[in-house]
Amino acid sequence: MEFENTRNPDVEKPIIIAAMQDMGNVGSIVVNFINKSLGTAQFRSVRSTKPSFIYDKGGYIDIPEEKWEFRYAKDFIIFGGGRGQPQDNQELNELCQDVINVAKQYDAKFIYTVGGYHTTRKFGKSPTTYVTTTSQELLKLVQNLGIETTPTESVITGFNGLILGYAKLNEINGIGLYGELLEPRIPQYRAAKTILETLEKLTYQKLGNLSELDMKAEAIENRFKSDKYSNDI
């Protein structure tokens, strides 16, 4: 991994939201939405030196640049987004540790991560966001707010789970928010919206006009229905 600082942000005790692309692109949708809504500025970047895939462009290949950014705004540091996450376990652990290092540098008290929660439950246009925390004390606080917690035991893989483990090991409060989805191959804007609504409730911060995500969800769903109908003919 290659790490580069471009500036020193003027933030103190920020909320950190750190998530990478996962099923349904939920992590990237949330991170990209917050960056756009809050008008964040980049201050640090990370590049992978070990490509996890290549593009076949029809007879020749191209190696994609895998890059992730740390960005900031008042009271926030946002990390992640992008088009993927490292498949190499060492790089994944390096990324998690770097987020922890940044959290300590700016005296962050909370790290939030987000992602998709694959389910078979039929929820129509109203998916639920389930929350898990790094301690039983945090769990009680979340439950007192009337927020749903993860209903069953499970293993959370990838950055959007592992970062909570790093937060706990470093005695930083962490909360993971995972939005329900049925089809992980399609961008899940409704899951992202319910995650953002829950984030607003937990952070007491307004994160933007979420109606934009409803419109994107409708467009994706209509296209998916059209493609399915064409395939059935």
pLDDT at 223: 81
Domains of the chain: 2-226 (3.40.50.10900)
Distance from C-alpha of 183 to C-alpha of 177, rounded to nearest angstrom: 18
Distance from C-alpha of 222 to C-alpha of 82, rounded to nearest angstrom: 25
* Tens of pLDDT, residues 177-217: 999 999 998 999 999 999 999 999 999 999 999 999 999 99
- Which band of pLDDT confidence, cut at 50, 70 and 90, is reported for residue 230? very low
Task: Report CA 157 to chain centroid distance, whole Å.
Answer: 13
Distance from C-alpha of 210 to C-alpha of 7, rounded to nearest angstrom: 30
Mean pLDDT within 113-136: 94
pLDDT at 201: 95
* Tens of pLDDT, residues 18-58: 999 999 999 999 999 999 999 999 999 998 887 777 889 89
